[in-house]
Structure 1
Amino acid sequence: MRPFVYEQPSDISDAVAIASRFTTNDDQPTRANAQFIAGGTNLADYMKLGVAEPNRLVDLNRLKDPGLRQIRVSEDGVRFGALVRMGEAADHAEIKRRYPVIADSLRLAASGQIRNMASLSGNILQRTRCEYFRETSWSCNKRVPGSGCAAIEGFNRQHAVLGGSDACIATYHGDFAQALIALDAVVHAEGSRGARKILFSKLHRQPGETPHIETDLVADEIITAIEVPALPWARRSLYLKIRDRESYAFALASAAVALDLDSDNVRDARIALGGVATVPWRARAAEQSLQGKKLDEATATAAADAAFAEAQPRQHNAFKIELGKRTLMRALLETRDMKV
């Protein structure tokens, strides 16, 4: 790991000011000389590998604003402070009762030790675990723009079948993000240009020709909160994760589902897919295919087909299409049968 300067500001404005001094308007957060750190479970790992090489770390853990560490549940929805730990949110009684898909996604995301360290804001900004991104001897457009994508012709079993491009097929590996995009979450951010709200669906960018530009954030912006609007029928929701082993593994395919039902007929559906896409993936075509229909095996199958209609498999990951369909079908039917 290369040497770096370590900063511990006490308020958000100081943290933003430090980042602003050592970055420019053109810097991407993941490539900036000054980068923010909270739990450190992702950035510290990539610094050790030589993938991330910031000259300065701005530790957010001493920021005084108590709202950064609070979970507020109301009739308007839920607001998570950016520094709330994954474990706190997963174990929160009202989150488990009102938004089980959120609690499920956090509980299944990592080991207990990591959940106790990792912040919610850091979790949604985690970077891919693509082997070619992590190993600096391989070409990777996300790590070194213009160098090529070794995964396309390499071993690509874990890679994305949705949202990829000729420049990048790296999978987004998070779980919590699938619940957030399904439930129309909003992210609050603050930087030198002021405070703003970002629809969670607009936060992450598909790779296109610029896979190194991963989010809509700029280098001196700090996420301060995540809000999920009130959705009373989100009590009928779950997150299903399929992986190579049951303990501490990333998804091969996953589905976040929330259903508004009249008997077995679908009034509204929210669906997001994980493990199969380059970004948190809202399956809107699948949602639309269910509207006004009785949810049974036939309509669940049709929804799954719609969700993967534009999938583009590579040599080793074609199995993800069928696995993803079966995962979504199972999640839909299990959500339908929940007792709420």
Structure 2
Amino acid sequence: MAPTEQDGYEKRLGEFAGREVLPPRPGPDPVNVPMIRHWVEAMGDRNPVYLDEAAARATGRAGIVAPASMTQAWTMPGYAATEARRDDGDGLGGLIAVLAEGGYTSVVATDSEFDFHRELTVGDHVGVREVVESVSPEKKTALGAGRFVTTERTYLDQHGEVVARQRWRMLWFRPRQSASPQPASPQSASPQSETPRAEAPPMLRPRPAVNRDNAFWFEAAREHRLVIQRCTGCGALRHPPGPCCPGCGSYAWDTAEASGRGRVHSFVVSHHPRHPAFPPPHLVALVELEEGTRLVTNLVGVTPEEVEIDMPVALEWLDPDPDLSLPVFRPVTA
């Protein structure tokens, strides 16, 4: 049973507002070229300033810089260190423990806003400090009753200077409980005495994080159109969508229609955490479209054992509910 106001639960949660839950500490590794290479290859980002020293200097930079989207990655501590933080009663571990008392044991990230102060260069050693901004009252969501926890993360270099700030919001929610089937009694065993039982409504697929930069993409998907953002300055295609071209820096863009053909660049079979909206096996793939951009999507009409890297696939549309349409891909057979 969830704690009540009489237990002082709301007060204890509220006391975390303004509290530092993660003191400044450096990440496990300084900014380095091998990790940048893995990142840009996975993201399909071909901006030469991330790997080519001469190209970076030609733009006026002192040398190779890391993609801004990697800022948080440099501070990720790894699984063992993350588990150790859960034992910190006054910090993040304490907040998680109080949330768990209320049954808020599941979590999903909902929003991230970055303010970048400078680019990160090879050799920078980034640390992060995290302070709780607010813990919301309980809200009803499609995932279940939950609370939005908003924190501010300040990213610091080895000299203690701010390189970026991040406003980070997560939903800690109480998973919906599915009704357990009741054992049949002798009286209900016969067809004449059996009473029809109403089926529980299907669980909605979690909503994507829609913002000003990607809303056009989801609107096109609602119309069963797969589009790719295109820079009108240099003509480069890019995905995920963003406000600025990483190649020429232009803010002007339009869209190009994708053919719907592509190949499997990589894939995983997700087993945990389980979610009623995703029946197993849940195949998540990185598909390289014919146009050259890559898209994280689902594979259908194929088993995990049948999936192969470089397998040709074609677009289909998934309409899990009236308010959502998403592109999925099916293998192309000869």
Q: What TM-score results when the alignment is normalised by the length of structure 2? A: 0.26
Larger relative strand fraction: 2
> Greater relative contact order: 1 or 2 (C-alpha under 8 angstroms, separation 6 or more)?
1
Q: Which has the larger radius of gyration?
A: 2
Larger relative helix fraction: 1
Q: What TM-score results when the alignment is normalised by the length of structure 1? A: 0.25
